[in-house]
Amino acid sequence: MKIEIPEKYLKPTVVALVVLLAGPEILAASEMLALVELIGAANFILLYVYGFRSIAAQPAARTLKFVRRLEPIWIFIPSWRVTKQMPGMLMHAIPAHSLALVSVILMSGSVAWHGIQLLQAAR
């Protein structure tokens, strides 16, 4: 037995379900849409970027100050001749970031390796 619902009841039902599931986010989205229409998309993006910058400036400055305390005053920068012979020496140019560089390389290598393994298993 197939129940047919007239289309005039289907659309309002769908709208009511969306409103019930989304809740107050619909009002926030409509307010943001009105703001975009009022000031334009470029200005809307600039508003959020500079708002984020003003909020994140102080924590970022504290973090940078902490990282600078970890690094020594001197920074080893190898010459071009040494860099051509041993590119790995560039890792030591900024000592505090060497561990981060190695971990990123290892993680991306691991992701690539597992991706290749999955592709081969799918064949």
* Whole-number pLDDT of residue 56: 86
The overall pTM is greater than 0.75: no
Give the model confidence (pLDDT) of 45-89 as tens digits.
888 888 888 888 888 888 777 766 766 555 666 788 888 898 877
Q: How large is the average pLDDT for residues 30-49?
A: 85
8 A C-beta contact, residue 95 and residue 66 = no
Give the model confidence (pLDDT) of 111-121 as tens digits.
899 988 888 88
